[in-house]
Amino acid sequence: MVDFQADADALNAIAADRDLQARLRHRRQEHRLTILTPHPLEAARLLGTTAAAVQSDRPHHVQTLATQLGCHVVLKGSGTLVASPDGNWCVNPTGNARLATAGTGDVLAGLLVGLLAQGVPAFEAASMAVWMHGEAGAEAGPGLIAEDLPEAMPEVFRRLYDLFAVEY
């Protein structure tokens, strides 16, 4: 069960406080799950670098962040990346620039926590959530606002069902 998910201002607080960073690492030792969902600028602050540096090698930086803080990390942006502290990572093929609008990260967090609540392991839940989020963004189309994403989810689920339905 997730008992800590950090986004927005919480990420800035973690970036500025070495004690909070140490506490995140300690949570992993206690087998407590933490998932961070930064965009490139927030990731840069956490790593003490620039957004341009993060963007220049997204796989390296997302894995560094996951390893250094002992957390699962979803590095949002074009080609959203998911990394685990044990070295697994993947690139999400769905989504578009329309998802870079206020509130869409909250929808992503809701999808992620919903999957975790159903018992999906953290890395898989994060990977599935970013895929569904991206598909919903494509389904919603131009002029997307965060509230459009939940309305697009039934079509995303229909496509998943069509892809994986087994006839007996």
**Residue 45, both tokens:** 């602050």
- What's the token pair of residue 83? 């990394």
**Whole-Å CA distances, 69 to 30, 61, 85, 116, 149:** 13, 12, 8, 20, 30
Q: What is the pLDDT along the chain (168 residues), one digit of tens a residue?
A: 444 444 568 899 999 999 999 999 999 999 999 999 999 999 999 999 999 999 999 999 999 999 999 999 999 998 999 999 999 999 999 998 899 899 999 999 999 999 999 999 999 999 999 999 999 999 888 899 999 999 999 999 888 888 887 666
Please state the pTM of the whole predicted model: 0.89
Question: Residue 148 phi/psi, 5° resolution?
Answer: -75, -25
